[in-house]
Structure 1
Amino acid sequence: MQTKTPATIITGFLGAGKTTLIRHMLSNARGKRIALIINEFGDLGVDGDLLKGCNDEACGEDDIMELSNGCICCTVAEDFVPTMEKLLDRPDRPDHIVIETSGLALPQPLIRAFNWPGISTRVTVDGVVTVVDGPALRDGRFAHDEAAVDRIRAADESIDHETPLSELFEDQLTCADMVVMNKSDLLSPAEAEAILGDLKAGIRDGVRIVPSSMGALPVEVLLGMQSAAEADTEARHEIHHHHHEDDEEDHDHDHDHGHDEFETFVVSRGEVADASAFAEQVAEVIRAHDILRLKGFAAIAGKPMRLTLQAVGPRVDTYFDRPFGAAPRETRLVVIGQAGLDRAAIEKALTA
């Protein structure tokens, strides 16, 4: 049976760094074939041109589609669903679809669109990534240039001119599976800590906030969350139900910083006695050590099938996928987190 194609929604205000983050993702895709849908407004397809300039094997020009007929949430039937169907009908169907929303679009209506009959059995929302501008938040703003945001909003008749930016910002946080606090290199440790505290008040339990400089995040952090957000819309309640806005960001920094701020290592152990108890153990270790992602497989005593395990924050999903056969019956877990993880303590806790 064909599996659903995963799609990641990337949202955030003008100038937060969405395009820069996507450029970095494409340059470090590790063999994934990624298609992009960009919700552009106006006559200048700035983001599309920036991304088409990547010239990366991960995403050719034919893999980039721009929706410029209005806010993506207002053109679901006419624009978004047909575009998704074109991508999914291709013989060389992409491994992953990334959707960059206009800077002021609400993510919730877009998530609900994944339940449309034409695409619901073929694609799933892997995760919603909300990018925020760290220095702007430090200075009491939601975007680097709020006046520019309002000018773009006022110029488009299809969007809501009344909803405060604060409510739109809260909607984007409420819907997120991950929040990227971008431009963190421009913040002092005390400023970053204060912003993290404020952001945590607006997100759901288990959602992680990841600092970023110039959008340089490993692809394995951004993709593969398996959140199935379209089946979880009630938990991502929106503050209002108006229609919204537009704007795109292009961030003026370039990408390609190293991933020194993150580390990955593998923990191996033998068979596990109880699958449920082990999943709880993994969740506790994640909470105790602030691990971003954990994935791998486990050998469960008395079970011929291996247990696949995928964790994003403290949410741990498990299922039996295939027999071990002649392969060694061992448990191997990949741990991903920010630099400074206590590797010895994590290994000890996971092998206890």
Structure 2
Amino acid sequence: MQKIPATVITGFLGAGKTTMIRNMLMNANGKKIALIINEFGDLGVDGDVLKGCGAEACTEDDIIELNNGCICCTVADDFIPTMEKLLARDVRPDHIIIETSGLALPQPLVAAFNWPGIKTAVTVDGVITVVDSAAVAAGRFADDHDALDAQRVEDQGLDHESPIEELFEDQLTAADLIVLNKADLLDAAGLQSVRDIVSNAISRKPRMIEARNGDLPASVLLGLGVGTEDHIELRKSHHELEHEGAPHDHDHDEFESFIVELGALDDANAFVEALKPVIDRHDILRLKGFAEVKGKPMRLVIQAVGSRIDTYFDRPWTANEKRGTRLVVIGLHDEMDDVAILRDIRALG
């Protein structure tokens, strides 16, 4: 029996993975696609957005959400049973797409495709790493290593693992294809700088392509035919290299998330403008969710990467749906003051 191809789509928080998948599903050229979505946090924003896109290639029954933590940490408990149930269906999908959490290491997930019962039925068509080009150009993933080393000399107890930079590099290391997304936000010189930064971040040199708003043909993203599970041992993450040969657990203690609940917004535009300085002040990495706007029958999607905020109405509220505003906030554990952030955002509503 021919193996089902699976595409792993990874990339840091807010890189544009969900938008790219949404575009892909709308142009799947007749393929029946099953989608596994993993999010960091308890609010399933990405899955809900994709369920509302109405793509014939992927119905709501074909969308599986895993919100119990990063998929790289829950392979045995969540991912393997999910794959087994998917493969046990009477009608199997033509292609499987897996959207990892923005904080996930792709390596453990890809390695899981070598498990008995999975390897004989599914192969990793390729790992696609989506990059927020504007965030790279702004220096979001580059730490000042000289400054960190100087602080470490002063205080040996300081922990300077540069979690954002390392995770960014790990997601690039796993890639078969790198998508430089949001290319429209930079000029030619800025894009070339991003290409150089990405290329210098890893020793491997996967192919890089540019995208605007995640808009790429499905034919470019699906059908890479790499069989990445056979090569993943050569693409080790920082975490794997640090603990090579020794038993270890991986977690994401450096990051945390929580949900902010508000009522209906009086003025969505005013709320978004007032939200920007709050995000900057607290260095929030990612904020996303849904909002009710007074007098509007449709649900407002709010997506923020740093203080860059996009909003759009995606669908009408359903009759039995609980309305209101729910936002998930993600940031670095040591730098997030949950109480202050909750206070400041609630003051805007």
Return the TM-score normalized by structure 1.
0.63
Partner of 1:141: 140
* Letter in structure 1 aligned against 2:123: T
> Structure 1: 5+ residue runs without aligned partners?
144-159, 255-352
**Are 2:173 and 2:204, in contact at CA under 8 Å, matched by a contact in 1?**
no
The verdict on how the C-alpha distance between 1:253 and 1:244 changes in structure 2, with shifts beyond 3 A counting, is farther
Q: Does 1:243 align with 2:242?
A: no
How do 1:73-112 and structure 2 match up within 5 A? 73-112=72-111
Partner of 2:217: 218
Partner of 1:349: none
Partner of 1:25: 24
Question: Structure 2 CA distance, aligned partners of 1:92 and 1:163?
Answer: 45
Partner of 1:66: 65
Kindly provide the CA deviation profile for residues 254-306 of structure 1, in whole angstroms up to 9, marking residues without a partner as x: 7xxxxxxxxxxxxxxxxxxxxxxxxxxxxxxxxxxxxxxxxxxxxxxxxxxxx
**Are 2:6 and 2:125, in contact at CA under 8 Å, matched by a contact in 1?**
yes
Question: Structure 1 CA distance, aligned partners of 2:57 and 2:160?
Answer: 38
Partner of 1:116: 115
Three-state SS of the structure 2 residue aligned to 1:41 is coil
What is the CA-CA distance between 1:201 and the residue it aligns to?
A: 2.0
The verdict on how the C-alpha distance between 1:62 and 1:119 changes in structure 2, with shifts beyond 3 A counting, is same
Return the TM-score normalized by structure 2.
0.64
Question: Structure 1 CA distance, aligned partners of 2:168 and 2:40?
Answer: 20
What is the CA-CA distance between 1:64 and the residue it aligns to?
A: 0.3
Question: Structure 1 CA distance, aligned partners of 2:106 and 2:74?
Answer: 13
What is the CA-CA distance between 1:43 and the residue it aligns to?
A: 2.8
Partner of 1:154: none
**Are 2:40 and 2:103, in contact at CA under 8 Å, matched by a contact in 1?**
no
Partner of 2:195: 196
**Are 2:35 and 2:97, in contact at CA under 8 Å, matched by a contact in 1?**
yes
Three-state SS of the structure 1 residue aligned to 2:201 is coil
Three-state SS of the structure 2 residue aligned to 1:8 is strand
How do 1:205-284 and structure 2 match up within 5 A? 205=204, 207-241=206-240, 243-245=250-252, 252=310
Count of aligned residue pairs for this structure pair: 237
Partner of 1:45: 44
**Are 1:105 and 1:244, in contact at CA under 8 Å, matched by a contact in 2?**
no
Q: Sequence identity of aligned pairs in percent?
A: 62
Three-state SS of the structure 1 residue aligned to 2:124 is strand
* Letter in structure 2 aligned against 1:243: H
Is 110-119 or 203-212 further displaced after alignment? Answer: 203-212
Question: Structure 2 CA distance, aligned partners of 1:72 and 1:219?
Answer: 24
Three-state SS of the structure 2 residue aligned to 1:196 is helix
**Are 1:114 and 1:125, in contact at CA under 8 Å, matched by a contact in 2?**
yes
**Are 1:131 and 1:179, in contact at CA under 8 Å, matched by a contact in 2?**
yes
**Are 2:9 and 2:129, in contact at CA under 8 Å, matched by a contact in 1?**
yes
How do 1:154-165 and structure 2 match up within 5 A? 164-165=163-164
